[in-house]
């Protein structure tokens, strides 16, 4: 990891250095890195085979992502690995992808859709090709897993932070008099600094949504929980493996925003020299800090669980709080829940 970080730092320094010399015409930082020997592309390399894996893989759960590690082998047995978790030098713009169910971006990040219906009972697959070598292809299957910690977020948004007060203006210095004892004159007094402005109050947090959760058991060789969680603004679907998987349903009120800081009072102006010297002005008062906003109200949570799924209720983790204080106790209803999809 440290070697990869050092290489990335060298790339950034090299790009900055070449840009400063006007060599940006090479076509972007990737091409500059190739010119420096810090990165490479595969179109001019005699690639004969590809292999691929997923980091931290090998499996993904709905809504999650990983990054590809691709190794290219050449006719003389050398191996070149992609940047990122592979800690290699090969740029991902050397490679093209065709994906089924999953998506792959230009940096080799693979993601599955959050909706479990799109990946259920299918195996997402990625076909990998090397630019300049159309006969070199690799396929990678992405197993789908459901024994992970899922989260359904229905909490209110946090309140905005209050504006900081403006700083007061410094007072001006008094004019100088004379300290000549044969012709003395008093120095002028400095003026007072102005007061700092008060900080604004933070905004109130938004309330959590009122959420209804339906849970039923999808029977089979490996039973899974089908879950639908619906609030007033949106709904989410989940497949959860009760053997290791969990689902946290959060309907907390949003925290109140912090109050803005009061502005600094201006410094009093210094008295002018003279006989006697002028008086210094008084410092302005610092502004008061704004008050924090109120925490949003906790939402409510109602769970309808099918009797067959009731033994797995411990898979659900329910939270509806307001500023750390529990909201209304979640209501659990054991009642028939048909297949959700």
Tell me the residue length of the chain: 341
Distance CA 321, CA 232 (A): 17
**Could you tell me if 59 and 66 are in contact, meaning their C-beta atoms sit under 8 angstroms apart?**
no
Q: Which tokens is 316 given?
A: 């659900």
Q: pLDDT value at position 26? A: 43
Asked if 172 and 136 sit in the same domain, the reply is no
Distance CA 327, CA 317 (A): 15
**Could you tell me if 284 and 215 are in contact, meaning their C-beta atoms sit under 8 angstroms apart?**
no
Cα torsion through 218, 223, 224, 227, rounded to 10? 40
Asked if 244 and 288 sit in the same domain, the reply is yes
Asked if 319 and 196 sit in the same domain, the reply is yes
Asked if 135 and 284 sit in the same domain, the reply is no
Q: Which tokens is 273 given?
A: 């020299």
Q: Which domain holds residue 29?
A: 1-39
Q: pLDDT value at position 78? A: 96
Q: Which tokens is 303 given?
A: 């769970």
Distance CA 2, CA 74 (A): 27
Q: pLDDT value at position 339? A: 96
Distance CA 175, CA 185 (A): 11
Q: What is the DSSP letter of 338?
A: -
Q: pLDDT value at position 33? A: 80
Closest to 256 in 3D by CA, of 199, 203, 320, 200: 203
Asked if 152 and 255 sit in the same domain, the reply is yes
Distance CA 299, CA 290 (A): 27
Instruction: Choose the final residue of a domain: 90, 106, 141.
Output: 141
Asked if 44 and 173 sit in the same domain, the reply is no
Asked if 211 and 334 sit in the same domain, the reply is yes
Q: pLDDT value at position 19? A: 47
SS3 2: helix
Q: pLDDT value at position 182? A: 87
Cis peptide before 106 (omega within 30 of 0): no
Asked if 339 and 211 sit in the same domain, the reply is yes
Distance CA 335, CA 309 (A): 10
**Could you tell me if 281 and 262 are in contact, meaning their C-beta atoms sit under 8 angstroms apart?**
no
Closest to 240 in 3D by CA, of 252, 251, 248: 248
Tell me the pairing of strands 125-130 and 133-141: antiparallel
Instruction: Choose the final residue of a domain: 141, 176, 197.
Output: 141
The CATH number covering residue 56 comes to 2.60.40
Q: Which tokens is 16 given?
A: 């900055």
Domain count across the chain:
3
Asked if 24 and 44 sit in the same domain, the reply is no
Q: pLDDT tens, position by position, for the chain (341 residues)? A: 455 555 455 555 555 554 444 444 444 567 788 778 789 999 999 999 999 999 998 999 999 999 999 999 999 999 999 999 999 999 999 999 999 999 999 999 999 999 999 999 899 999 999 999 999 999 999 999 999 999 999 999 999 999 999 999 999 999 999 988 889 999 999 999 999 999 999 999 999 999 999 999 998 888 999 999 999 999 999 999 999 999 999 999 999 999 999 999 999 999 999 889 999 999 999 999 999 999 999 999 999 999 999 999 999 999 999 999 999 999 999 999 999 99
Asked if 197 and 135 sit in the same domain, the reply is no
Asked if 289 and 250 sit in the same domain, the reply is yes
Q: pLDDT value at position 28? A: 58
Asked if 44 and 62 sit in the same domain, the reply is yes
Instruction: Choose the final residue of a domain: 114, 141, 168.
Output: 141
């Amino acid at each position: 990891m440290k070697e990869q970080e050092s290489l990335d730092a060298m790339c950034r320094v090299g790009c900055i250095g070449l840009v400063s010399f006007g060599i940006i015409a090479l076509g972007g930082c990737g091409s500059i890195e190739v010119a420096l020997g810090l990165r490479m592309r595969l179109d001019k390399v005699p690639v004969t085979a590809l292999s691929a894996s997923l980091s931290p893989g090998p499996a993904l759960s709905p809504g999650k992502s990983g990054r590809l590690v691709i190794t290219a082998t050449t006719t003389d047995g050398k191996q070149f690995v992609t940047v990122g978790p592979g800690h290699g030098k090969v740029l991902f713009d050397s490679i093209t992808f065709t994906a089924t169910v999953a998506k792959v971006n230009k940096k080799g990040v693979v993601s599955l859709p959050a909706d479990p219906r799109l990946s259920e009972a299918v195996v997402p697959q990625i076909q990998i090709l090397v630019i300049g070598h159309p006969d070199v292809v690799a396929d990678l299957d992405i197993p789908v897993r459901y024994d992970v910690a899922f989260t359904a977020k229905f909490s209110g948004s946090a309140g905005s932070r209050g504006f900081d007060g403006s700083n007061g203006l410094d007072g001006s210095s008094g004019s100088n008099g004379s300290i000549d004892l044969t012709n003395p004159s008093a120095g002028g007094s400095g003026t007072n600094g102005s007061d700092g402005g008060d900080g604004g109050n933070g905004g109130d947090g938004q309330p959590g949504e009122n959420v209804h959760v339906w849970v039923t058991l999808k029977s089979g060789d490996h039973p899974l929980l089908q879950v639908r969680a619906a609030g007033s603004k949106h709904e989410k679907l989940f497949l959860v493996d009760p053997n290791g998987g969990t689902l946290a349903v959060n309907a907390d009120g949003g925290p109140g925003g912090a109050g803005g800081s009061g502005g600094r009072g201006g410094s009093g102006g210094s008295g002018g020299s003279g006989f006697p010297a002028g008086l210094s002005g008084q410092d302005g008062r610092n502004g008061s800090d704004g008050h924090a906003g109120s925490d949003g109200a906790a939402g409510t949570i109602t769970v309808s669980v099918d009797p067959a799924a009731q033994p797995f209720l411990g898979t659900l983790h329910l939270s509806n709080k307001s500023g750390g204080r529990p909201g209304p106790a979640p209501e659990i209803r054991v009642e028939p829940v048909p297949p959700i999809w």
